[in-house]
Amino acid sequence: MDSLFDVNKKAEDRSDELLEFECEQAMLRKAYAPPEIDTEWTKIQQNIHRSEKRRKRRTHYNVSMQLRYFSFGAIAATLTLLVILYVFRPQRQSVSNGPVTVFLAQRGKQAVTITGNGNRVAYPVGSGAKPSLSGAVVNTEKADFTNVESNITEVKTIMTPRGKDYKVILNDGTEVIMNTDSKLIFPVKFTGSKRIVTLEGEAYFKVAKNASKPFIVRSGRLETLAVGTEFNVRAYDKSVPHVTLIEGKVVVNVAGTAKKVYLRPGEDVSLTNDDMNIKNVDSQYYIQWKEGFLYYDDVPLVDVLSDLGRWYNINIEIEKSSLMAYRLHFIVNKSAKIDEVIDNLNDFEYLFVRKIGNKIIISEKN
C-alpha cells in the first residue's frame, strides 16, 4: 500500500504533468494559426475512419414524436419545424483546435438571375430588365424553353440565389430542379448528337428519353450520361461530389480518365480524390431538399452547417475545429426560421449555438 508521502508525490507529479501539457498547448495555439477547413476536415475524417467501430451512438429523441419508423409522407403531414434524432460524439484528436469559419454569407439582394452567350450582366428573373427570348416562358418560379424558336442557338446560364430553388424545363422537355446557390449552363436549343449541360451546385434531373441523343451532365470532374432517367447531382464547391440514381440507369465517369461506373436505382457514387465509391442508399433521403426538407442521416456537423449557411445565407463559425466531426441525424423544414433551427440545434447534448447579428457561432456545451 502506498504511503501518504507516495500519494502526495504522485499527485504532485500529475499536477506538474498537467501544467506542462497546458503550457505546451498554449504555445502551440500561439505558434500556429487556426486550421484551414479542408485540411483539418481531411484529418478528422481519417480519425473517424480509425475509430468508427469504437464510437457509441448517443440518441436524443424529440419529445413529441417517436421516429424509429417513419415515412416522409408522415413528416410532411406532421413535422412543422425540425426533428432531431441523435448525435455521435467523436474522440478529440486534434492538437490545433481553434475556430473555423464554415460558411460566409453573400451581400446584396438575392434573386434568380439569367445570362446569355457569356454576357457578364446577370438579369434578375422577373425584373422585366432581361431581353425577351421568343417562345420561352421565364418567371420567378420557372424557366420553360420547350417552345423556343428553332433557329436560336444561344447558351444560357441560370443561377439560383441563397434560399431559393428553381425549375428549368429544357428545350427537349428535360426537367431540372435547381437547388439553392447553384448554376446551370445549357443551350437554349440542343443540336448535334449529344445533349450537354454543366452544373455547379445541386440539381435533380428528369431526363426526356431520346436514345439517339444521350444527355450528359458535367459537374466538376464527374460526367453523368443518361438517355431517359431520373437522378440527383450534388457538386458544390469544396465538397465531395455525388450522383444518386432514382430511376433508370446512368453511366458516371471521371473526366480525363478511363474510370466509370454503371449505377442502378438506389445507388450513389461519390468521388474522393481519384476514388469512385458506390453504395446502396435510400434515394428518397437524397432528394428531400426538392420536397421542402433538408435531411441528414449520420452526416458530419460541418456539412449540415454548410447547407444551413447556404439556405439561410448566414455566416457560420465553429469555435473548436473538433466539433466539425460530430455526426448528426437531423431534419429541417426549409420554411422554418433560422431562430427555430438554432433552438433545435441547442437540443443536442453537446452543442451550444447562438446568433449574433448575421452570424451563427457553434461551441461545445460545458
The residue among 118 and 338 whose pLDDT is bigger is 338
The residue among 53 and 279 whose pLDDT is bigger is 279
The residue among 112 and 15 whose pLDDT is bigger is 112
**In the predicted structure, residue 68 carries a pLDDT above the cut 50:** no
**In the predicted structure, residue 237 carries a pLDDT above the cut 80:** yes
Between helix 301-312 and helix 338-345 the angle, nearest 10°, is 160
pTM over 0.85, yes/no: no
Residue of 205, 153, 214 whose CA lies nearest to 182? 205
Residue 304 is predicted with a pLDDT of: 93
Q: What is the mean pLDDT of the chain?
A: 79
Reported as a single tens digit per residue, the pLDDT across 290-336 is 999 999 888 889 999 999 999 999 999 999 988 888 898 899 999 99
CA 143, CA 125: separation in Å to the nearest integer? 9
Q: Do 271 and 221 form a contact (C-beta atoms < 8 A)?
A: yes
**In the predicted structure, residue 8 carries a pLDDT above the cut 50:** no
Distances (CA, A) of 226 to 11, 59, 175, 199, 210: 68, 40, 13, 15, 9
Cell 420536397 -> residue: 291
Q: What is the number of other CB atoms lying within 10 angstroms of the CB of residue 59? A: 12
User: Among residues of the chain, what percentage have pLDDT more than 90?
Assistant: 49
354: burial class by Cβ within 10 Å (0-12, 13-18, 19+)? Answer: exposed
Question: In this predicted structure, which of 31-35, 98-102, 263-267 has the lowest mean pLDDT?
Answer: 31-35
Residue 154 is predicted with a pLDDT of: 86
